[in-house]
Amino acid sequence: MDQRSAPIYEALERLRAERIVHFDVPGHKGGRGNKELTEFLGEKCLKADVNSMKPLDNLNHPVSVIKDAQLLAAEAFGAHSCFFIVNGTTAAVQAMVMSACKAGEKILMPRNVHISAINALILSGAVPVYIDPGIDKRLGIALGMSVDDVKRGIEENPDAKAILVNNPTYYGICSNLKEIVQLAHNHNMLVLVDEAHGTHFYFGENMPVSAMRAGADMASVSMHKTGGSLTQSSLLLCGENVNSNYVRQIIGLTQTTSASYLLLTSLDLARKNLSLNGKEIINRTVELAEYARKEINSLGGYYAFSRELVNNDNIYDFDVTKLSVNTRDTGLTGIEVYDILRDEYGIQVEFGDLCNILAIVSAGDRAMEIERLISALYEIKRLYSREPAGMLDYNYINPHVVYTPQKAFYSSKKMMPLKCSKGEVSGEFVMAYPPGIPILAPGERITEEIIDYIFYAKDKGSLLMGTQDMKLENILVVEG
């Protein structure tokens, strides 16, 4: 196939030239019905926001231009088939889990998964078997999946249908994906990869192995994160052993029937750009990230970590495009540095947690902006650093699972003060967003350690969500 082609984009351009009179949705009629929105987004953007019609195909049953665009993407990513997702990578993760597991069937996964994976368990009724990813005490982060732990999990649960792997994690940690795939396939289990932060693995040089190259069965890829498409657009990649027609039906359970052509076109053009220019784009990204890492480490107090962490076990590889910076030696939590960068220096990083910040670097950044970040971190250390006494040194707590997420979520529940909930079983989520990894999930025992962690995170300024009580003073617990 010709990777220079962009079938959806080209179809939209043809449609625009035909000057069709529209008596269909959307009601803004190419922007004429909403002047302020048109002035904000631009007339060309509003005219491209159209409804499914024969010349533009239909995402739920693609037979022409969307089908061609998905085939091009499958080829570019080395997949057997590909689905365009417009409900975010959340929908792609849920489709993977729901395609692989039915109610009551087991799935092996690390507990530091994104909330979308646990939500998929609530929707499907699949039963999680959590594999402890381990913690780096210095960095306070959960790591990857150890092959030995995966092997043990398979041996103890030979009836499991699938294994879900985060690769890379938000912080750039990668597991030994090839060996995990081989282990799983030897036991007739599918391998699902949450590859939300790994789009660039398919196009850069000297990158960690991609899910499709490792032989995984499905991978969810956030094209909007590092691939250049619009926010909320994503891909679901499938290997040759997956029934793609069944996967399409599963996607249809949760994905909109009114797909945005702005999102679809952005996926089409982002794939084209990566196919033609990906190597140069990723090389430039690595160059900027490595320079920033070196300079930040020279400041003292911060630790911008990289491949020196690799231990060929639960840190099998590292994504060097990730500018993850540990802040503990400055006496400041990551969320405190995050807030100061935004409020006082006009710099927005991806997130701050209790120990780290993450700055997303891409070829779209400029050297002067990298220098501005480095200078700001120096100033923050000079003005705000303090002794790190009393700081928490972890971002992950290994859970005590009492009930499956689905059973707990749909059970009879009662509200009670969080501070008095020790020993109860949670009936809802508590998580810091970003990154969206639950501190507490439905069905897990509430411990004193978890309560202390939540109040500490609140005090430091983390955005905590997931509970019905928006102030997170109370929590729903399972009755009985």
Rg of the chain over Cα atoms, rounded to whole angstroms, equals 23
Does residue 435 share a domain with residue 371? no
pLDDT at 160: 98
Q: Are residues 427 and 335 in the same domain?
A: no
Residue 247 confidence (pLDDT) above 80 = yes
| Residue 84: Cβ-neighbour burial (10 angstroms; 0-12, 13-18, 19+) | buried
For residue 299, how many other CB atoms are within 10 A of its CB? 17
What is the tally of helices (H) and strands (E) in the chain? 15, 20
Q: What value does the mean pLDDT take over residues 215-228? A: 97
Question: Is residue 310 domain-resident?
Answer: yes
Q: What CATH code is carried by the domain that includes residue 360?
A: 3.90.1150.10
pLDDT recorded at residue 390? 84
Taking the CA atoms of residue 256, residue 262, residue 265 and residue 266 in that order, the dihedral angle to the nearest 10 degrees is -100
- Does residue 455 sit in the same domain as residue 368? no
Q: How far apart are CA 273 and CA 72, in angstroms?
A: 12
Whole-model pTM over 0.85: yes
User: Tokens standing for 465?
Assistant: 């969500």
Q: Which CATH number does the domain housing residue 422 bear?
A: 3.90.105.10
Q: Do 312 and 376 share a domain, yes or no?
A: yes
* 372 and 323 share one domain: yes
- pLDDT tens-digit map of 251-270: 999 999 999 999 999 999 99
Q: Are strands 135-136 and 127-131 parallel, antiparallel or unpaired?
A: unpaired
Does residue 171 form part of some domain? no
Burial class (CB in 10 A: 0-12, 13-18, 19+), 7: buried
Average pLDDT for the chain: 96
Polymer length of the chain? 480
Residues 409 and 337 in one domain: no
pLDDT value for 394: 76
Choosing from 384, 418, 433, the residue where a domain stops is 384
Same-domain status, 361 and 282: yes
Beta-carbon contacts of residue 387 (< 8 Å; ≥ 6 apart): 331
In a domain, 410, yes or no: yes
pLDDT one-digit tens code per residue, 312-355: 999 999 999 999 999 999 999 999 999 999 999 999 999 999 99
- Pair (418, 379) in one structural domain: no
Residue 385: count of CB within 10 angstroms of its CB: 16
Residue 433 has pLDDT above 90, yes or no: no
- How does DSSP classify residue 210? P
Task: Give SS3 for 87.
Answer: coil
> Can you tell me the distance from the alpha carbon of 181 to that of 239, in angstroms, rounded to the nearest whole number?
12
300 plus 336 within the same structural domain: yes
Q: How confident is the model at residue 392 (pLDDT cuts 50, 70, 90)?
A: confident
Q: Band of the pLDDT at 99, cuts 50, 70, 90?
A: very high
Q: What are phi and psi of 40, to 5 degrees?
A: -75, -45
Range of the domain at 315: 278-384
- Residue 170 placed within a domain: no
The reply to whether 20 falls in a domain is no
Instruction: Look at residue 101 and tell me if it is in a domain.
Output: no
- Reference 211, options 313, 101, 78, 98; nearest CA is 78
Secondary-structure percent of the chain, ordered helix, strand, coil, rounded to 5: 40, 15, 40
Query: Which pLDDT band, with edges at 50, 70 and 90, does 218 fall under?
Result: very high
Residue 376 and residue 414 share a domain: no
Has residue 393 got a pLDDT over 80? no
Q: What is the per-residue pLDDT across 127-150, written as a single tens digit (0 to 9) for each?
A: 999 999 989 988 999 999 999 999
* Residues 369, 318 share a domain: yes
Answer whether residue 480 shows pLDDT above 90.
Answer: no
pLDDT of residue 396: 81
CA 440 to chain centre: 18
Do 373 and 282 sit in the same domain of this protein?
A: yes
Q: How many domains does the chain have?
A: 2
In a domain, 445, yes or no: yes
Residue 286 lies in a domain: yes
